[in-house]
Amino acid sequence: MVLLLLGVLRAGYLGTVRSSALRQAATDQQVQTLPVPALRGEITDRNGVAYAISEPAEAIYADPMLIDKTYRNLTSVATALAPLVGRTTASTLALLRHPRLGYVELAADVSVATADRIMSLQVGGSVGINGIWDVPTERRVYPRGSELAQVIGWVGGNKGLDGLEYEFNKQLAGRAGVRKTVIDAQGRAIAVTTAKAVVPGQNIRLTISAPLEAEVQSVLDGVGAQYKPQGATAIVTDPQTDQILALANWPSLNLDHIPATALSSVHGRLPAAEDQAVDFSYEPGSTFKAVTVSGALQDGLITPSTVIRIPPYLQAYGHIVTDAETHGWENLSIAQILKFSSNIGAVEIGKRLGPERFGHWVSEYGFGRPTGVALPGEQRGIVLQPSQYSGFSMYNLPFGQGISVTPMQMIQLYDTVADGGVLHTPQIIQSIGGHRVPEPKGRRIVSAKVARELRYMLRGVLADGGTASGAAIPGYDMAGKTGTAQVAVNGQYSATKFVASFVGMVPASKPQLVVLVVVDDPQGSIYGGSVAAPAFQKIVGWAVPHFGIDPCPPKACPASAMHPAMPPTP
């Protein structure tokens, strides 16, 4: 009777006080709730060429309690599983001894073939490990290899960790579902239900042209091999739409081996994972003279034919400003100041503007703030306000020294000049989920007349005697500007470290392509005209036939821009 009474009391205790906990424990042992990842959206170029796709894979799960009950020697189980799930035997064993009820994830995305091998393992004489099962999932694949790598970024556990994979993770990832599986005492599934439906990720179509991207990356690889710089980047845009057609970085990034390359550096400084188009800040040098000249043109302080008396050098506040070539007193037109890239001439134009108006034009063109391009990590550069200028500021700022910009800001400047003086945010996303991304409204910076005058004068840079005469392509109407800027090291300008750049457009009369090449600390040669301009020429030489840009008829072509003058007003 006493034993019976104790049994009744125990039954009552388990059925009332402990009922909820026991019911939950039973459910945990018999019903497994597993997430079902959504299929991640694709990233493609403008014509549907895939840059990032997902392929079928399997996630491997284990029931520690069931395995512990089935196998006395857990070490043998862990040893068999470890190489297939990509773990050490010790870490696999720790997961199999996990005290938590339910399940643990051994691998997130092994291949289907590997999953089949796991499910066929023999431990203890039987095929298959009791308490191990697989769930269909996906793995990220990058079919174009290292092309556009820093822009695309990479994924970990269906979560974007860098680049566009990170910036648009919400759209690409979709929404995971939930699946409930009822298992029997032998660990076999006897019922499967969907508790929450999967919502697939959205596809993203870029403005990038895959064939052009491949060519630009190849050209940059050549620059890297020849000049062994700290880094290099190139951007190609369509100024009529402000769409980015190509964006490449050197060194490139192997998306299949992120741990080995993402944190590495070239010559100890520039991380390979950086998208230098938006992450790299540098002093632009003479490519910045477009701001000085266009601002003075717009303010009516100069015309293309204005002649300025240029001294051999300028001395102010303990500093000396010189041109690249030694000369005596000379008279140069504004067009010639650009053609020969005269620093002294740019300073004389800047003096006419004065600090307030010069600072106004720097701000108008967007320097000192991000462009707003849909890429993560965009820097704003370093721009002083006119109230922060020193006495010497107007002796170096007009030719691009003492200011920090990004390549994306610089191509936005020249896109504005190419598009008739209207500034737009650069675009790299064409559509998301099949819906076209609206084009942002433009903002007029200078008049169409000023933009046309500046383009006409920039023709001289590629003409005989210009700083990039070797970059011209016979028969094509081209304009551009070289830049060679010293790198500041410990507060002083280095005599050995430079940033070489070139930005140009074709055709100059109505540009269809704008190309920027920036090379950080090249070895062997330092000038934009000898390092970056040839890369520009190779890119444009490939692109003009690809995009159907014809050379101008001989009689209608500008006289090689040898003697730039005012173009007739249409």
| pTM for the structure as a whole | 0.84
Q: In the predicted model, is pLDDT for residue 100 greater than 70? A: no
pLDDT (0 to 100) of residue 322: 93
C-alpha dihedral (290, 304, 421, 346), degrees to nearest 10: 20
pLDDT (0 to 100) of residue 271: 56
Q: In the predicted model, is pLDDT for residue 87 greater than 50? A: yes
pLDDT (0 to 100) of residue 186: 59
From CA 154, how far away is CA 273, in angstroms rounded?
A: 10
Which residue ranges form the domains of the chain, and what is each CATH number? 32-63+139-206 (3.90.1310.10), 210-546 (3.40.710.10)
> Please, are residues 224 and 232 in contact by the beta-carbon 8 Å criterion?
yes
pLDDT (0 to 100) of residue 29: 56
Identity at 328, one-letter amino acid code: G
pLDDT (0 to 100) of residue 164: 96
Would strands 204-206 and 43-44 be described as parallel, antiparallel, or unpaired? parallel
pLDDT (0 to 100) of residue 44: 98
From CA 260, how far away is CA 273, in angstroms rounded?
A: 11
Reported as a pLDDT band with limits 50, 70 and 90, residue 530 is very high
- Maximum pairwise Cα distance, the chain: 123
Q: What are phi and psi of 565, to 5 degrees?
A: -145, 180
pLDDT (0 to 100) of residue 564: 39
Reported as a pLDDT band with limits 50, 70 and 90, residue 254 is confident
The rounded percent of the chain whose pLDDT value lies above 90 is 62
From CA 376, how far away is CA 278, in angstroms rounded?
A: 8
Reported as a pLDDT band with limits 50, 70 and 90, residue 561 is very low
Among 57-66, 298-307, 341-350, 449-458, the minimum mean pLDDT is found in 57-66
pLDDT (0 to 100) of residue 25: 56
Reported as a pLDDT band with limits 50, 70 and 90, residue 110 is confident
Q: In the predicted model, is pLDDT for residue 210 greater than 90? A: yes
Between 375 and 254, where is the model more confident?
375
Among 99-108, 399-408, 484-493, the minimum mean pLDDT is found in 99-108
Q: What are phi and psi of 84, to 5 degrees?
A: -85, -25
Q: How many alpha carbons fall within 13 Å on the CB side of residue 154?
A: 18
pLDDT (0 to 100) of residue 178: 83
Burial class (CB in 10 A: 0-12, 13-18, 19+), 2: exposed
Task: List, for residues 187-199, the tens digit of each pLDDT value.
Answer: 566 677 777 888 8
The torsion region of residue 505 among left (phi > 0), alpha (psi -120 to 50) and beta comes to beta
Q: In the predicted model, is pLDDT for residue 407 greater than 80? A: yes
pLDDT (0 to 100) of residue 309: 96
- Cα distances (angstroms) measured from residue 492 to each of 192, 318, 488, 497: 69, 14, 5, 11
Task: List, for residues 160-203, the tens digit of each pLDDT value.
Answer: 889 999 999 999 998 888 878 776 665 566 677 777 888 889 99
Q: Return the DSSP state at 235.
A: E
C-alpha dihedral (508, 514, 520, 526), degrees to nearest 10: -20
pLDDT (0 to 100) of residue 422: 97
Reported as a pLDDT band with limits 50, 70 and 90, residue 261 is low
Other Cβ atoms less than 10 A from the Cβ of 391: the count is: 10
Q: In the predicted model, is pLDDT for residue 269 greater than 80? A: no
- 432-459 as b/e: b if 16+ CB within 10 A: beeeeeeeeeeeebbeeebbbbbbbbbb
Q: In the predicted model, is pLDDT for residue 566 greater than 50? A: no
Q: What is the mean pLDDT of residues 516-525?
A: 96
CA geometry: angle at 244 spanning 471 and 450, to 5°? 65
Identity at 259, one-letter amino acid code: P
pLDDT (0 to 100) of residue 253: 85
Task: List, for residues 11-56, the tens digit of each pLDDT value.
Answer: 877 777 777 765 655 555 567 777 777 889 999 999 999 999 998 8
From CA 218, how far away is CA 234, in angstroms rounded?
A: 11
The rounded percent of the chain whose pLDDT value lies above 70 is 90
Q: In the predicted model, is pLDDT for residue 480 greater than 50? A: yes
pLDDT (0 to 100) of residue 39: 85
Which of 65, 27, 31 lies closest to 191, judged by CA?
31
Which of 320, 302, 322 lies closest to 312, judged by CA?
322
